[in-house]
Amino acid sequence: MIKIHKEDVLAGFIVFLIALPLSIGIAIAAGAPASAGLLSAILGGIIGTLITGTHITINGPAAGLIVVISSSIIGLSENGDLLLGFKRTLAATMIAGGLQIILGVLRGGRLTFLAPLSVVHGMLAAIGAIIMIKQLPVLLGVTPKAQSIMQLAFEAPNMLLSSNIPVVLISASSVFVILAWKLLPKKIQLYFPAPLVVVVIGLIFSYSMNFEMIHDVDIFSHLFTIGPRFLVHVPKSFDGLFIFPVFDVVTSWQSLLSVTSIFVVCSLETLLSAYAVDKIDPEKRTSNLDLDLIGKGVTNIFCGALGAYPIITGIVRSSANIAYGAKTKWSNFFHGIFLLILVALVPDVINHIPLSSLAALLLFVGLRLAHPRHFLEVWNHGVDQFSLFCVTFVVTIIQDLLVGIAAGVSLKIIFHLIRGVRPRDFFWPKVKLQREGEKFYIEIHSPVVFLGYFEVKKVLEKIEDGTPVLIRDNGYFIDHTIKELLAEYSS
């Protein structure tokens, strides 16, 4: 029998207020229609709740996929037809969803933990940096000439000089609100989320300055053109939300690359986020990661079929969900229902939201991923870990996300080989469990690296919760990923 708590309805409503601007902003930042972000959150809330292995997470579009989806849309377009590129990306999303289902059925949820932590952090930091760089022209109200991320960064000074001041006023007000809101009492922050306030202020600017009409604004004797191109656009009819996939190039190299990228990043970020949310769940429940992969796969097939951005588990919205007192997965369902009602009833209001307001929100999302403290934390783990982090970070920005991950993992394997780790020890380290009285000892008799995660985990799972555990490494090398795992169990 389904039991719905009033706390789930309230949490779902407040998370919906946060998800509204973020869902639109994330989709636009990736080059997808704004409607794709909204539809993603709706499907992630409704369908994603019916098939899930988690207890209290929120599904929807996430910033971690912006780079992947943007590259896919551009790579699959023809003659500048980005809509065609998006439709082909929808086809890739459906195939990626099918792969997620297969991975879940094969109990592949644990494979996430084979990813070296420094490489994952480097990937996320690179995504954050790319998000921030891509928001600059939107914040300044200019159209850049640059095509690549590096070119965009170098063009920043010229963009500053040609800024559209009315748009910058909205951006600056939004940034000020986000910063000031952190200083307010927690209760105000909880029930009046900063993203909602940013959108309200943006709407005030939009209506008062008549952004829906193209016209010039005189500021300090300088004319600046404003108009609807600086606003969100979603179809006014509900059936206009739907865009259908095109499968004409699914066997091409570019399409296969898109499928692989969407599949890898969707699965990796979803599983890592679900694992992280379990750690902060007040009821200490454990997610079924395999079932969650299946659920995400099914939902992503619907997303691709109907014109939505792919979904993952959102760590920020899930954390907020817990903070607002959610008890069960049904808060995710209600957040989707509230979004559906809004899109169906008041699309005109959504179409008055300034793009620069959403860009300000995404600026801070990117900063959260690429915050300088993440660099410092990795540095504190040693030069090797920092090298992996930096290589992944730089290669991802310059080249591609999958290439960045491959570069980081390859460098880590090279480091271990230089240390003398034998190929056999990569996958089958010598780890034994011994008991002396009421204490357990983990005896390590070979180097242990990230690829030996499952062997170590099998040994640790024999230990009852709360039982004191001591580690005897016998002087053998243990890499950072395994140290993090052992730290969860050691007394």
Whether residue 291 contacts residue 331, with contact meaning beta carbons closer than 8 Å, is answered with no
pLDDT at 236: 84
Whether residue 14 contacts residue 191, with contact meaning beta carbons closer than 8 Å, is answered with yes
pLDDT at 4: 74
Whether residue 53 contacts residue 275, with contact meaning beta carbons closer than 8 Å, is answered with no
Query: Could you identify the residue written with the tokens 């919906």?
Result: 16
* pLDDT tens-digit map of 437-455: 777 888 888 888 888 887 8
Backbone angles phi, psi at 310, to 5 degrees: -60, 150
DSSP string spanning 58-69?
EEE--GGGHHHH
CA angle, 74 then 76 then 81, to 5°: 70
What the block records as the tokens of 163 is 């800024």
CA distance 243 to 447: 52
Whether residue 300 contacts residue 96, with contact meaning beta carbons closer than 8 Å, is answered with yes
Nearest alpha carbon to residue 307 among 65, 44, 92, 36: 36
CA distance 409 to 451: 10
pLDDT at 443: 86
pLDDT at 94: 98
Containing H/E element for 226? strand 222-226
Query: Could you identify the residue written with the tokens 């919760």?
Result: 465
Q: What CA–CA distances, in Å, run from 127 to 65, 85, 366, 398?
A: 8, 21, 7, 11
For residue 384, with 0-12 CB atoms within 10 Å meaning exposed, 13-18 middle and 19 or more buried, which class applies? middle
- Count of CB atoms situated within 10 Å of the CB of 47: 21
Strands 222-226 and 469-472: unpaired
DSSP-derived 3-state class of residue 449: coil
Residues in the chain where the model's pLDDT stays below 50: none
Name the DSSP letter for residue 491. -
Whether residue 275 contacts residue 287, with contact meaning beta carbons closer than 8 Å, is answered with yes
